[in-house]
């Protein structure tokens, strides 16, 4: 038996065959990534815009298997737009691309927000435990890259097309007094060879062997997302640029090196309804330039350990039971906009998440306290058990797939009678696609997502006994829309359409990386 397994591990040359990592390295919405290595550990930040808490931070030992370790902020601000109040929202805005850096024992992660018009700098000595100190100032520096130079001065490079630089105060409290912004590259899109489309943005700047390297993404009209790289001997320039990668639309990111001296570019790709998904591309250095890919192509396999899956590192099931000292919500959860603390509880009924209403809403996307997790590819499903005995007339509670073109399965109450209901947007309006009368207080709900080959289709199901599942309504097509600017998310929701004060109890949330629907 031992000999048999050894024969499987050894190839004819005598080299051990190990499972390899594959691209995409994370099949989930983790866009605008910024990455550092501190000793043997890699850290990464990303964008979750209108979600709360926000600016997620992850760690890895191998560049492939990542786990959430925290967020830079709990709430970006208290504006109506950030809290779904007064009919306002900040879908597709909130905080955008971040820059993660480590300098003299302190971790820094920065971002900017169109919603507030500010630039944010968060710092801590302990990236895994915090606490984070916040500094914010105006204006909002678009897609900036934080950079600490060897002489101790600190800068931000930012902008779109025309890239600019500003020097910050030594304590990073704001722009250094007496300094003004300066243009360092008049048109960073030029190396891509085509004008029009998305101008070069998403700046990430690095210093390697005494030279400065600036990574940007551009999207030439009628072309594909492209990596553009500039280099210079001084931050002020002159900068010379070239196309770094033009394959599969994999772009926007920067450089990371391993402890063993290997180099990779971390980038992401637009991939339909699941969102913007991270890739790693090997890098070789030639004549002072980082050369990305294998013969200019993004490889399917990487000389790195295989992925162990995204569960439970980035998404996870939750039975809503808590031991003493555990956080109320694991890091995998984010609220859609700022939550209202008094309207959700894990204590009112032990082992359940209770969502309560205190106002009337007209749609799922305006409902407070929708609790979300990422969907994952190539396929994923989520199930929940819902007690609807305390819903009031006009209430709607259940399991949703959140994006502009959302879909829902849940229970509605009409004329005192509950019904299992599937809803999706038709012509921009939420429309019932099927209703099934419900004669019991507990119902089981499921959503299945198929992102294989960009199929981007979901189906919804219900069960009365948690054994036999019945499809309800119609398939949901899941397009990636710019107004929301985020991959689809599973969401547990409850809102009132006629009178506040009802509540729904969710017994659990269980996520899987497989589906039953062919």
Q: Tell me the pLDDT tens digit for each residue of 216-257.
A: 999 988 889 999 999 999 999 999 999 999 999 999 999 999
* Among the listed residues 189, 193, 241, the one whose alpha carbon sits nearest the alpha carbon of residue 213: 241
Looking at residues 172-196, what average pLDDT do you find? Answer: 91
Looking at residues 204-212, what average pLDDT do you find? Answer: 97
CA gap 511, 318 in Å, rounded = 9
**What is the DSSP pairing of strand 198-208 with strand 182-185?**
unpaired
pLDDT at 17 over 90: no
CA distances for 134 relative to 167, 174, 186, angstroms: 19, 12, 32
- Residue-level pLDDT at 492: 99
- Residue-level pLDDT at 194: 64
Burial of 455 (0-12, 13-18, 19+ CB in 10 A): middle
CA gap 46, 227 in Å, rounded = 18
- Residue-level pLDDT at 18: 61
pLDDT at 3 over 60: no
pLDDT at 2 over 80: no
Cis before 333? omega within 30: no
CA gap 203, 298 in Å, rounded = 21
Of 12-16, 105-109, 430-434, the poorest mean pLDDT is in 12-16
Q: Are the C-beta atoms of residues 58 and 48 closer than 8 Å to each other? A: no
Give the fold, CATH level 3, of 17-305. Answer: Tachylectin-2; Chain A (2.115.10)
- Residue-level pLDDT at 121: 98
> Which is higher by pLDDT, 477 or 1?
477
Give the strands of the sheet with 41-45, arranged side by side: 34-38, 41-45, 54-60, 66-73
> Residues 500-517: pLDDT tens digits?
999 999 999 999 999 997
Looking at residues 126-142, what average pLDDT do you find? Answer: 97
- Residue-level pLDDT at 423: 98
Looking at residues 134-140, what average pLDDT do you find? Answer: 97
CA gap 201, 112 in Å, rounded = 14
And the tokens for 242? 């070239």
CA gap 272, 223 in Å, rounded = 17
- Residue-level pLDDT at 472: 98
CA gap 372, 401 in Å, rounded = 9
Looking at residues 6-30, what average pLDDT do you find? Answer: 68
Residues of the chain above pLDDT 90, percent: 93
- Residue-level pLDDT at 6: 38
Looking at residues 75-99, what average pLDDT do you find? Answer: 97
Burial of 323 (0-12, 13-18, 19+ CB in 10 A): exposed
| Residue-averaged pLDDT of the chain | 95
Looking at residues 263-290, what average pLDDT do you find? Answer: 98
CATH number of 340-512: 2.60.120.200
Any idea where the domains of the chain sit in the sequence?
17-305, 340-512
CA distances for 261 relative to 20, 37, 283, 304, angstroms: 19, 12, 11, 13
pLDDT at 14 over 60: no
Burial of 127 (0-12, 13-18, 19+ CB in 10 A): buried
Give the strands of the sheet with 417-426, arranged side by side: 51-52, 334-336, 371-374, 489-496, 395-402, 407-414, 417-426, 429-437
- Residue-level pLDDT at 19: 83
- Residue-level pLDDT at 197: 84
Q: Are the C-beta atoms of residues 331 and 373 closer than 8 Å to each other? A: no
pLDDT at 186 over 90: yes
Cis before 60? omega within 30: no
Looking at residues 479-497, what average pLDDT do you find? Answer: 97
And the tokens for 11? 């190839």
Looking at residues 131-144, what average pLDDT do you find? Answer: 97
pLDDT at 1 over 50: no
Q: How confident is the model at residue 375 (pLDDT cuts 50, 70, 90)?
A: very high
- Residue-level pLDDT at 227: 98
Q: How confident is the model at residue 259 (pLDDT cuts 50, 70, 90)?
A: very high
CA gap 131, 371 in Å, rounded = 24
Euclidean distance between the first and the last CA atom of the chain, given in angstroms as a whole number: 37
pLDDT at 338 over 80: yes
Assess whether the region 17-305 and the region 340-512 belong to the same CATH fold. no
CA gap 75, 54 in Å, rounded = 7
Phi/psi at 94 (nearest 5 deg)? 65, -140
- Residue-level pLDDT at 198: 87
pLDDT at 294 over 60: yes
Residues 6+ apart with CB under 8 A from 7: none
> Across-strand partners of 412?
396, 419
Burial of 84 (0-12, 13-18, 19+ CB in 10 A): buried
């Amino acid at each position: 038996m031992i000999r048999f397994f050894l024969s499987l591990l050894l190839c004819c040359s005598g080299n051990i065959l190990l499972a390899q990592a594959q691209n995409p390295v994370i099949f989930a919405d983790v866009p605008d990534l910024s990455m550092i290595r501190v000793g043997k550990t890699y850290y990464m930040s990303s964008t979750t815009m209108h979600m709360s808490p926000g600016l997620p931070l992850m760690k890895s030992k191998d560049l492939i298997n990542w786990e959430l370790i925290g967020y830079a902020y709990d709430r970006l601000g208290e504006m109506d737009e950030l809290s779904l109040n007064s009919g306002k929202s900040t879908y597709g805005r909130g905080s955008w691309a971040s820059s993660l850096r480590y300098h003299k024992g302190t971790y820094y992660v920065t971002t900017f927000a169109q919603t507030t018009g500010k630039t944010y700098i968060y710092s801590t000595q302990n990236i895994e435990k915090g606490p984070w100190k916040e500094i914010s100032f105006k204006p909002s520096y678009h897609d900036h890259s934080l950079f600490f130079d060897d002489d101790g001065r600190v800068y931000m490079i930012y902008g779109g097309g025309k890239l600019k630089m500003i020097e910050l105060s030594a304590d990073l409290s704001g722009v250094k007094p007496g300094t003004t912004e300066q243009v360092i590259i008049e048109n960073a899109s030029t190396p891509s060879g085509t004008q029009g489309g998305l101008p070069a943005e998403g700046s990430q700047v690095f210093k390697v062997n005494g030279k400065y390297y600036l990574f940007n993404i551009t999207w030439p009209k009628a072309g594909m997302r492209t990596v553009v790289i500039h280099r210079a001997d001084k931050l002020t320039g002159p900068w010379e640029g070239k196309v770094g990668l033009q394959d599969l639309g994999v772009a926007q990111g920067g450089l990371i090196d391993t402890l063993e001296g290997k180099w990779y570019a971390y980038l992401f790709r637009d991939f339909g309804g699941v969102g913007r998904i991270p890739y790693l591309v090997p890098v070789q250095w030639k004549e002072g330039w980082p050369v990305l890919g294998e013969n200019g192509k993004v490889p399917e396999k990487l000389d790195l350990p295989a992925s162990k899956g995204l569960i439970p590192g980035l998404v996870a099931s939750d039975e809503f039971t808590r031991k003493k000292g555990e956080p109320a919500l694991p890091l995998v959860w984010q609220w859609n906009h700022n939550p209202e603390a008094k309207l959700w509880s894990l204590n009112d009924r032990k082992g359940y998440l209770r969502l309560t209403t205190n106002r009337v809403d007209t749609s799922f996307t305006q409902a407070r306290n929708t609790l979300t997790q990422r969907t994952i590819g190539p396929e994923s499903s989520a199930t929940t058990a819902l007690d609807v005995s305390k819903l009031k007339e006009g209430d709607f509670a259940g399991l949703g797939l959140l994006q502009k073109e959302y879909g829902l399965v849940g229970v509605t109450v009409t004329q005192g009678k509950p019904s299992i209901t599937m809803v999706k947007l038709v012509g921009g309006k939420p429309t019932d696609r099927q209703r099934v009368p419900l004669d019991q207080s507990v119902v089981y709900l499921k959503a299945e997502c198929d992102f294989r080959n960009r199929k981007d289709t979901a189906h919804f199901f219900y069960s009365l006994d948690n054994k036999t599942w019945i499809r309800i309504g119609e398939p949901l097509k899941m397009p990636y829309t710019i107004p929301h600017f985020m991959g689809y998310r599973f969401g547990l929701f409850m809102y009132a359409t006629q009178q506040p004060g009802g509540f729904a109890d969710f017994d659990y949330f269980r996520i899987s990386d497989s589906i039953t629907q062919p």
